[in-house]
Amino acid sequence: MSDSVLLQPFAKSEVLVVQFMRKTWKIEFSGWEPMTNNGNVNCLCGTRIDGDERCHVRINADVIKTINGVVFHQDNISI
């Protein structure tokens, strides 16, 4: 039995709970994009919906710990 879990692709506008750098944000997902300064790293893009105002965010995939409670591994991203 394997310990790894494969995340299914997220639908546009799906709400994700993302844990990173001791923060937890609710994000309305818009897609994965390569980081502009480093093509080997991706970032999760979307709109933060749990703060006082909605704002566009880009979270470097290297710092994401979990998405919807599932341990995240950048190797499972497909753009």
Q: How confident is the model at residue 44 (pLDDT cuts 50, 70, 90)?
A: very high
The predicted structure's pLDDT at residue 79: 58
Question: Helix (H, G, I), strand (E, B), or coil: what is residue 79?
Answer: coil
pLDDT tens digits, residue range 24-38?
Answer: 999 999 999 888 776
The predicted structure's pLDDT at residue 66: 95
Nearest to 46 by CA among 29, 63, 70, 34: 29
Q: What is the 3-state secondary structure (H, E, C) of 20-69?
A: ECCEEEEEEEEEEEECCCCCCCEEEEEEECCCCCCEEEEEEHHHEEEECC
Residue 78 contacts residue 39 (beta carbons within 8 Å): no
